[in-house]
Chains A and B, each alone.
Chain A
Amino acid sequence: MQLVNEVIRRKLEKYPSPVQNLALQAIMLAEKHGSDASVAEQLKQVVRQLVRDKK
Chain B
Amino acid sequence: MILETLTINNFRQFRGKSTLRFAHGKKNVTVIFGENGRGKTGIFRALIFCLFGDRQLSQDELVDDREVHLVNNGAMRDSQQEKGRTVEAGVELTFKHNDCRYTLRRTVQGLWHNGERHEEGKEVTLSIERPDGNCTPLRDPESIKEMMGLVIDYRVREYFLFDGEKIEHLTRASQHQRTEVSKGVRNLLNIDGLEIATKALKHVGKEFAKELEKSATGELARTMKRLNESTAKRDTFDEQIAALAADIQKAEEEIEDLEKKLKKHRGITELVEQRERLNGQIRDIEHEMQDVRAVVRDKVARTAILLCLDPIRSVYEDIEKRRKKGEIPPEIRQDLIERLLSERKCICGREIRSGTPEHTQLKEWLRRVGDPELSDAALEMWRSLSGIISQEETVRSNAETTLQQFGRKNSELERLRRQLSTVTAKIGEDVRDDAIHWEGQRKKAEAAVRKKSVETERLEEMRQELDALIRQLEAQKVKLEKERGIANEMSARHTLVENARQALVAVADAFTKEARETIAAQATAYFQTFLDADSQGLFDRIQVNNDYSLQIMDNHGNAVLANISAGQRQLMSIAFIASLAKTAADGDLLQMPLFMDTPFGRLSLDHRLRLIDNLPKLCAQWILLATDTELRRSEARHLYESKRWGRFYRLVSTPGGETEVEERSTEDALTLIREEEEGES
Contact = CB atoms under 8 A, between A and B. Distances in A.
Interface of A: 1, 3-4, 7-8, 11-12, 15-16, 18-20, 22-23, 26-27, 29-31, 33-37, 39-40, 43-44, 47-48, 50-52, 54-55
B504 A1 contact: no
A19 B503 CA distance: 8
Given A26-B500, A26-B504, A43 B492 contact: no
Given A8-B511, A11-B510, A35-B196, A43 B190 contact: no
Which of B199, B200, B203, B493: most chain A Cβ within 10 A? B200
Which of B192, B196, B208: most chain A Cβ within 10 A? B196
Interface string B133-175: 0000000000000000000010000000000000000000000
Contacts of A19: 496, 499-500, 503
Given A12-B503, A27-B194, A51 B489 contact: yes
Contact of A23 (B189, B207, B500, B511): B500
The secondary-structure label for the interface of chain B is helix
Interface residues of B, number: 31
Nearest to B584: A1
A1 B153 contact: yes
A34 B496 contact: no
Contacts of A27: 193-194, 197, 504
A8 B194 contact: yes
B496 A43 contact: no
Contacts of A12: 503, 507
Interface in B192-219: 192-201, 203-204, 207-208
B511 A7 contact: yes
B514 interface: yes
Contact of A30 (B196, B208, B489, B496): B196
Contacts of A22: 201, 496-497, 500
A11 B200 contact: no
Interface of B: 153, 189-190, 192-201, 203-204, 207-208, 489, 492-493, 496-497, 499-500, 503-504, 507, 510-511, 514, 586
18 contacts: A4-B189, A7-B511, A8-B194, A8-B507, A15-B499, A19-B499, A19-B503, A20-B503, A26-B200, A26-B500, A27-B197, A40-B201, A43-B201, A44-B204, A51-B489, A51-B492, A54-B492, A55-B489
Which of B198, B489, B496: most chain A Cβ within 10 A? B496
A3 B204 contact: no
Contacts of B197: 23, 26-27, 29-30, 39
Contact of B200 (A36, A51, A52): A36
A15 B496 CA distance: 11
Contacts of A51: 489, 492-493, 496
A15 B598 CA distance: 49
A4 B2 CA distance: 24
A19 to B, nearest CB: 5
A21 to B, nearest CB: 8
